[in-house]
Amino acid sequence: MAESSPQAGPSIRDTLFGDLPMELVPPGDAPASLGEPWVTFMAARNAVSGGRPSEAIELWQQIARTSGLESRHYAQAWHFLRAQGVRPPAEIERLLLGVVVEVPLLNGLDLLAAYPDHHARYYNFSGDGVIWDHPNESLDPIIDALLEAGRQIASMVGIWNGPRPPAPPMGEIRVNIISPSGLHFGQGPGKSMANDPLARPAIEAANSLMQQLVAQARHNNSTKP
């Protein structure tokens, strides 16, 4: 999957990390009827364009403190805050906000994402995907297993300094962990990752979650009238 420019809109991959550029959160002049947190994101964007960065910081901090939002919204708010030099307090700097697993294949990129709100996404190399917005609790245990494996990785690896890197090369797997401090990740050849004591639980949980998401999609399709 090719990286996209802001003008072209985000790629599927870009939507998973909570690090979209400001003009895409939400895109353009989105209507206020979208509700929160989009209204506050728009107000912060307007504050930045109007030369009022301190006002924007207050608005992003408001989003970061609001309960009940999607995990990616918190990641997005912290992405903007870090860009303004605001770092998260020590007690939440490694708080897990999401795990994204990237597996390059011959014909494209497989992507699996899971978040603490028990939302999940699976997109295979063709672009087909399964979106799980927590309609029930049936996948909670396997999502939690992947999140816990991500926490263990984040506790052992540092923050990536710089823009999010492009997808890993063929033959390698990357496990990305999103936190208020930024992006952590582990990457290596598939066989090495599968045998690594730190990475193996994440790879196994990701495979299980992918299989269950695909099974759910097949079941839903088979029950449609």
In the chain, % of residues over pLDDT 90: 84
pLDDT at position 2 is 35
Q: Which residue has the higher pLDDT, 109 or 223?
A: 109
Question: pLDDT at residue 62 above 60?
Answer: yes
> Domain range for residue 68?
6-86
Query: Mean pLDDT in the chain?
Result: 92
pLDDT, mean of residues 206-218: 94
Residues 174 and 107 grouped into a single domain: yes
Question: pLDDT at residue 1 above 50?
Answer: no
Domain end marker among 35, 59, 86: 86
| Residue 93 domain-assigned (yes or no) | no
Residues 217 and 114 grouped into a single domain: yes
- Give the start-end residues of each E strand in the chain: 98-105, 108-114, 120-123, 129-132, 172-179, 182-189
Give the global pTM.
Answer: 0.92
| Residue 164 domain-assigned (yes or no) | yes
Q: Contact 212/139 with Cβ under 8 angstroms? A: yes
* b/e burial code for range 19-55 (CB count within 10 A of at least 16 → b): bbebebbbeeeeeeeeeebbbbbbebbebbeeeeeee
pLDDT at position 14 is 96
DSSP label at residue 25? T
| Residue 1 domain-assigned (yes or no) | no
Residues 30 and 109 grouped into a single domain: no
Residues 125 and 176 grouped into a single domain: yes
* b/e burial code for range 164-187 (CB count within 10 A of at least 16 → b): beebbeeebbbbbbbbbbbbbbbb
With H, G, I as helix, E, B as strand and everything else as coil, classify residue 97: coil
And the tokens for 54?
């301190």
Neighbours of 99 (CB within 10 A): 31
**pLDDT confidence band for 189 (50 / 70 / 90):** very high
| Residue 92 domain-assigned (yes or no) | no
Count of domains observed in the chain: 2
Residues 211 and 179 grouped into a single domain: yes
Residues 161 and 193 grouped into a single domain: yes
- For 17-46, write each residue's pLDDT tens digit: 999 999 999 987 766 678 999 999 999 999
Residues 65 and 111 grouped into a single domain: no
Domain end marker among 36, 63, 86: 86
**pLDDT confidence band for 186 (50 / 70 / 90):** very high
Domain end marker among 65, 86, 107: 86
Residues 174 and 125 grouped into a single domain: yes
DSSP lists the bridge partners of residue 216 as none
- For 112-168, write each residue's pLDDT tens digit: 999 999 999 999 988 889 999 999 999 999 999 999 999 999 999 999 999 999 999
pLDDT at position 225 is 54
In the chain, % of residues over pLDDT 70: 93
| Residue 82 domain-assigned (yes or no) | yes
